[in-house]
Amino acid sequence: MTRELARYFVTYYANGEYLDQDEYSDIPPAIGHGVETNGNFYRITDVWHVRHKHAPVTHGIAVFLEEVPIPQVFKEVDASYYT
């Protein structure tokens, strides 16, 4: 018997605005985790499970982010890796 991994429908918000969405996230987001999207870096500041489809934010898992400087580990990677 094969065990299927849980998938999480995650919507990301930064500065009060919709930023990105991941319909197939393998890990549940947690406060303090780092997120890189569209070449920008963020820290998760809050996470909510939104059950109502007509809420002010998308239903599913709503993740609120704060932009952070580029972490040192990413500065050490050859820039061409991201292109």
Q: What phi, psi does 11 have (nearest 5°)?
A: -120, 130
Going by C-alpha positions, the residue among 20, 21, 26, 35 that lies closest to residue 8 is 26
User: What gap in Å lies between CA 83 and CA 79, rounded to an integer?
Assistant: 7
User: What gap in Å lies between CA 6 and CA 58, rounded to an integer?
Assistant: 19
Predicted pLDDT at 65: 97
Question: What is the value of pTM for the model shown?
Answer: 0.78
- Each domain of the chain, given as residue ranges in start order, spans 8-82
The tens-digit pLDDT sequence of the chain (83 residues) is 566 777 888 999 999 899 999 888 888 899 999 999 888 999 999 999 888 777 777 778 999 999 999 888 887 877 677 66
Predicted pLDDT at 1: 59
